[in-house]
Amino acid sequence: MELSFIMIKPDGVQRGLVGEIISRFERKGFILKALKFLQIEKSFAEKHYEDLAGKPFFDGLVEYVTSGPVVAMVWCGNGVVLTGRKMLGATKPADSAPGTIRGDFAVDVGRNVIHGSDSVESAQKEIALWFPDGITEWRSSLHSWIYE
């Protein structure tokens, strides 16, 4: 089944949004497959965001995501990449609909609380980068209550 990499950024951690965000993914019916709490280094952040190297906001973005601990997770479920992006809301919080994470909890694009993979392919790359030892395989006993 499909996997997505979701990361609560340092502002989300500092603002006490970890439980709220995890709850949203759990209540939706997505299944947690990996989770860790860590502060990343500059070189790791540059690797994670390598596609954005050269953008005017790149240095500020790297400084932001390395400024404190983050919560890195892998969530599993049908359509989790696209649905996860919808749950996050648009990149710019001014464009994120109320009811989305960024729409409810963020104001500034440079402090937008959360990262989510934008395609199945980037999810695979990001999961390999953040969880090189692999993820925990398990089957939730709720499976048949979430899927027909």
Q: Are 114 and 88 in contact (CB under 8 A)?
A: yes
Whether residue 83 is annotated as binding a ligand: the answer is no
Find residue 38's DSSP bridge partners: 70
Asked if residue 57 binds ligand UDP (CB under 6 A), the reply is: yes
Distance, CA of 52 to CA of 75 (rounded, Å)? 24
Residue 120 beta carbon to ligand UDP: minimum distance, rounded to whole angstroms: 14
The amino acid that residue 60 corresponds to is: G
Touching Mg ion, residues 100-139 (CB under 5 A): 118
Residue 110 binding partner per list ligand UDP, Mg ion, none, with a CB distance cut-off of 5 to 8 Å that depends on partner kind? ligand UDP
Determine which helix (DSSP H) or strand (DSSP E) holds 85, and give its type and residue range: helix 80-88
Asked if residue 136 binds ligand UDP (CB under 6 A), the reply is: no
Q: Are 2 and 116 in contact (CB under 8 A)?
A: no
Q: How many CB atoms lie within 10 A of CB 123?
A: 22
Question: Using the rule CB under 6 A, which residue among 5, 25, 112, 123 binds ligand UDP?
Answer: 112
Whether residue 91 is annotated as binding a ligand: the answer is yes
Contacts with ligand UDP by CB under 6 A lie at 52, 57, 61, 91, 109-110, 112, 115, 118
Contacts with Mg ion by CB under 5 A lie at 118
